[in-house]
Amino acid sequence: MTKGKWGTLLESLLTFKKLYDSDALAVEAIPSLKEISPQYAKITLKQLCQSMHEKMDELDLMKHINDAVNSVPEPVMSPADAYQKVVRYKTEHVHLDDFSGRISASMLVPYPPGIPVLMPGERLPKGDEGVIGYLKALQNFDNTFPVLSMKFKGSMLMQTEIFG
């Protein structure tokens, strides 16, 4: 990261902190919120941050993250073989509740933080709640704060291409 980028990041963080400390409205810090959802026009940045923090505590998100990174998917085929299943239309979308024991045809990357939790050709063992518990917690968080939802590469509404 260049010094210029560091400077820009630091300036943005200090501006955010100043708005937080001054009880500015959330839309002052994140102007796009006003256009997306009128509910955010009336709450302060501090209230928004506090409610998000409380939800993360309620969901025990840090425990779920820890469980997810300690979960070890089983590689059952190469990513190239999994890709061949995709291009030959041998995959299906599966709801998160039916995810366990199935083989992923695509990489699953919750963003942020942008770290893959499942690679093509990997299977989560039946009963493994590490990755699934983490994804369910993120889904719950997104349902509470839909405007600020996480992005999932390789998934569609908490579904992913699965086969096997």
Instruction: Express each pLDDT in 124-143 by its tens digit.
Output: 878 778 888 998 998 898 88
Q: Where do the domains of the chain lie, and which CATH numbers do they carry?
A: 1-59 (no CATH), 60-164 (3.90.100.10)
Q: What is the mean pLDDT of residues 27-52?
A: 87
Contacts of residue 58, Cβ cutoff 8 Å, sequence gap at least 6: none
Three-state secondary-structure class, residue 102? coil
Reported confidence tier of residue 58, pLDDT bands at 50, 70, 90 = very high
Name residue, tokens 């518990």.
Answer: 133
pLDDT in tens, 70-127: 888 999 999 999 999 889 888 888 888 888 888 888 888 887 777 888 899 999 878 7
The 10 Å Cβ neighbour count of residue 89 is: 7
Task: Say if CB 79 and CB 105 are below 8 A apart.
Answer: no
**Cis status of the peptide bond prior to 38, with omega within 30 of 0:** no
Contacts of residue 75, Cβ cutoff 8 Å, sequence gap at least 6: 119, 121, 122
Cα 12 to Cα 7, 15, 36, 69, 90: the distances in Å are 9, 5, 22, 30, 46
pLDDT at 158 > cutoff 80: no
Q: What is the pLDDT of residue 162?
A: 52
| DSSP helix, strand, coil percent of the chain (3-state; round to 5) | 55, 15, 30
> Nearest 5°: CA angle at 130, between 124 and 134?
115
